[in-house]
């Protein structure tokens, strides 16, 4: 019988032998990308090496693909696989290759007009992205000239090479935890047809000058939880939608967002504008929005409907920015208007097949409870008919009007819509233009000494069944 000291010696010898053979983990569950040929050197594209590690990990039954601490690895497109945890050790970085010619897989199927994919996964399960490193989209490399409040977009026709950072399609059991993801040239995290997904403690950091740089887009997905995240994006921070390209995946529902902080040059929290199905059973709670163009927005522009949504316990801080960005400092925005007919590069995908103009669906049963706003403008509610937007409830919504920019007041932004894109009128705490069954309960506003003039609490235009309680 072996003595204990002999057993210890045997294990030590085995470990030494494995180390000499180049095996980093005796269990075989840790797949370090350097073991597959990845090099942290300028000019080296490591996509092949990293893909080999991902493939080997998945083929073995699952494990961890590790990006080592303190190193940057440039790479082109990657495809995630089932049962893989892509783990970025502290201060590690995967950096998108700036060569536009290598991005050839569309983020929107046959529609190539809205960007390509960098890191993606499709029809997989049990996938995670974890750690304290960064997925860096290298976004500025894909931009045109820098302007005062944005970057020019390079001219394109029906093909836009800008890469989305992370595109996950039909993934079951997904977790993104603790990592930093950002510097995106287009959307950052896009969940399409995903189920049982959680994004916890992630940081999304995009340039506030990059248009289309959404933070997290939840598209045709279900049972999604987003919590304890910080998001800075030139475009929307968190957006729920149903894009037409992915209509086969069905409605978007059962979404919970809590304890997040957000900064945006567009709309920090948005539902729409792309929505050809149903978005329902949604809860946003305990979130802070600061230094944004628009705070909370339901922007329905297609035939889909939005219903059963609660926004509660929110702090919203917003102000005016230029017309490059949709929004006019509306802290809360609830609208449904038909989409404009345009000549955008992907205009053919905006309407149902064969249609030359769109229609908009109902927005109903929406609650805003305990929302405190610091803003240059008031709440805007409107639809194309009085019944299109209905059963909208405001309770303990308070606004403190300030002046944080030199832009003129008295304007609300309806874009993208048919007809005039702006409403010009006085500033009100609540401006309601065609809606029904609206309740305003225990809501108020105050003015800072330098605030623009506010005309009153409510201006209703063609509103049926408006109830104001104090």
Could you read off the pLDDT of 11-64 as tens digits, one per residue?
344 333 333 333 333 346 899 999 999 999 999 999 999 999 999 999 999 999
Global pTM reads: 0.93
Asked if residue 255 is part of any domain, the answer here is: yes
Q: Which residue has the tokens 């399409």?
A: 192
Give the mean model confidence (pLDDT) for residues 265-277.
97
Residue 139 is assigned to a structural domain of this protein = yes
Question: Phi first, then psi: what are they for 246, rounded to 5°?
Answer: -115, 30
Q: Return the DSSP state at 146.
A: B
Please indicate, yes or no, whether residues 250 and 213 belong to a single structural domain of this protein.
no
Written as six digits, the tokens of 335 are 């609208």
254 and 142 in a single domain? The answer is no
Q: Please tell me whether residues 145 and 271 are part of one structural domain.
A: no
Are both 464 and 349 inside the same structural domain?
yes
**Residue count of the chain:** 470
pLDDT of residue 3: 46
DSSP one-letter string for 55-102: HHHHHTT-EEEEEPTT-EEEE--EE--TTEEEEE-TT-EEEE---GGG
Provide the pLDDT confidence category of residue 256 given band limits of 50, 70 and 90. very high
Q: What is the pLDDT of residue 356?
A: 83
254, 386: one domain: yes
Residue 326 belongs to a domain = yes
Q: How many CB atoms lie within 10 A of CB 22?
A: 7
∠ CA 379-380-386, nearest 5°, is 135
Q: What percent of the chain has pLDDT over 90?
A: 88
Residues 332, 444 within the same domain: yes
464 is a domain residue: yes
**Residues 212 and 276 both lie in one domain:** no
Q: How confident is the model at residue 419, as a pLDDT?
A: 86
Residue 2 binned pLDDT confidence (cut-offs 50, 70, 90): very low
Tokens 């329905």 belong to 300
Residues 160 and 250 occupy one common structural domain: no
Tokens of 445: 């506003």
Specify the CATH number for the domain of residue 272: 2.160.20
Strand, helix or coil for residue 409: coil
Q: Which of 178, 134, 140 is nearest to 162 (CA)?
A: 140
Q: What is the pLDDT of residues 303-356, one digit of tens each?
A: 999 999 999 999 999 999 999 999 999 999 999 999 988 656 666 788 898 888
Is there a contact between 127 and 171 (Cβ–Cβ < 8 Å)? yes
Do 69 and 108 share a domain, yes or no? yes
Q: How far apart are CA 94 and CA 52, in angstroms?
A: 15
368 lies in some domain: yes
**394 and 261 in one domain?**
yes
Give yes or no for a contact between 92 and 70, defined as CB atoms under 8 angstroms apart. yes
pLDDT tens readout for residues 148-180: 999 999 998 889 999 999 999 999 999 999 999
CATH number (domain holding residue 117): 2.160.20.10
Distances in Å between the Cα of 354 and the Cα atoms of 241, 305, 348, 388, 439 are 22, 21, 9, 24, 39
Q: Give the residue among 403, 390, 400 at the shortest CA–CA distance from 447.
A: 400
Counting the structural domains of the chain, the total is 2
pLDDT of residue 144: 96
Count the neighbouring beta carbons within 10 Å of the beta carbon of residue 193: 20
Over residues 439-449, the pLDDT tens digits come to 999 999 999 99
Residues 209, 146: contact at Cβ < 8 Å? yes
Task: Report the C-alpha gap between 76 and 102 in whole angstroms.
Answer: 7
Whole domain around residue 432: which residue ranges? 236-470
- End-to-end Cα distance, the chain: 85
Helices H / strands E in the chain, number of each: 2, 33
DSSP reduced 3-state for 279: strand
The residue written with tokens 């598209």 in the block is 219
pLDDT at 202 over 70: yes
Q: Which of 283, 468, 432 is nearest to 368 (CA)?
A: 283
Residue 366 makes CB contacts below 8 A (sequence gap 6+) with 298, 306, 307, 309, 310, 311, 334, 391, 392, 393
The neighbour count for residue 209, using CB atoms within 10 Å, is 18
Domain identity same for 229 and 251: no
Residues 213 and 250 in one domain: no
367 forms beta bridges with 310, 393
Residue with the two structure tokens 């475009």: 235
Distance CA 317, CA 29 (A): 46
Query: pLDDT class for 67, splitting at 50, 70, 90?
Result: very high
Q: Which of 411, 406, 344 is nearest to 377 (CA)?
A: 411
């Amino acid at each position: 019988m072996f003595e204990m000291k002999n057993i210890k010696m045997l294990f030590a010898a085995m470990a030494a032998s494995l180390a000499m053979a180049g095996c980093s983990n005796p269990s075989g569950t840790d797949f370090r990308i350097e073991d597959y040929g990845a090099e942290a050197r300028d000019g080296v594209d490591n996509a092949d090496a990293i893909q080999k590690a991902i493939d080997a990990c998945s083929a073995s039954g699952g494990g961890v693909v590790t990006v080592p601490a303190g190193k940057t690895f440039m790479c082109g497109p990657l495809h995630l696989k089932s049962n893989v945890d892509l783990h970025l050790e502290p201060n590690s970085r995967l950096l998108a290759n700036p060569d536009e010619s290598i991005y050839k897989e569309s983020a929107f199927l046959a529609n190539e007009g809205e960007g390509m994919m960098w890191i993606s996964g499709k029809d997989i399960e049990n996938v995670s992205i974890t750690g304290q490193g960064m997925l860096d989209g290298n976004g500025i490399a894909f931009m045109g000239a820098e302007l005062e409040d944005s970057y020019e977009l390079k001219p394109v026709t029906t093909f836009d090479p800008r890469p989305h950072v992370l595109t996950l399609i039909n993934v079951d059991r997904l977790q993104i935890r603790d990592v930093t993801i950002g510097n995106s040239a287009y959307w950052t995290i896009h969940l399409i047809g995903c189920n049982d997904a959680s994004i916890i403690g992630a940081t999304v950091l995009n340039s506030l000058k990059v248009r289309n740089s959404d933070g997290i887009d939840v598209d045709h997905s279900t049972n999604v939880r987003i919590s304890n995240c910080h998001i800075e994006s030139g475009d929307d921070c968190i957006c729920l939608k149903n894009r037409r390209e992915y209509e086969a995946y069905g409605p978007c529902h059962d979404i919970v967002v809590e304890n997040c902080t957000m900064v945006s040059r567009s709309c920090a929290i948005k539902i729409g504008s792309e929505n050809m199905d149903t978005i329902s059973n949604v809860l946003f709670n305990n979130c802070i929005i600061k230094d944004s163009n628009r705070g909370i927005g339901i922007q329905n522009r297609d035939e889909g409907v939005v219903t059963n949504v609660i926004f509660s316990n929110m702090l919203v801080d917003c102000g005016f920015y230029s017309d490059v960005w949709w929004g006019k400092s509306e802290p809360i925005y609830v609208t449904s208007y038909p989409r404009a007919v345009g000549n955008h590069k992907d205009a053919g995908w905006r309407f149902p097949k064969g249609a030359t103009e769109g229609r908009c669906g109902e927005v109903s049963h929406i609650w805003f409870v305990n929302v405190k706003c610091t803003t240059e403008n008031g709440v805007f509610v409107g639809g194309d008919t009085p019944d299109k937007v209905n059963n909208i409830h405001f309770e303990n919504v308070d606004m403190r009007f300030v002046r944080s920019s030199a832009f003129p007041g008295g304007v609300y932004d309806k874009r993208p819509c048919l007809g005039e894109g702006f409403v010009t009128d006085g500033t009100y705490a609540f401006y309601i233009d065609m809606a029904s069954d609206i309740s305003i309960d225990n809501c108020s506003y105050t003015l800072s000494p330098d605030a623009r003039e506010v005309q009153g609490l409510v201006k209703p235009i063609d509103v049926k069944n408006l109830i104001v309680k104090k």
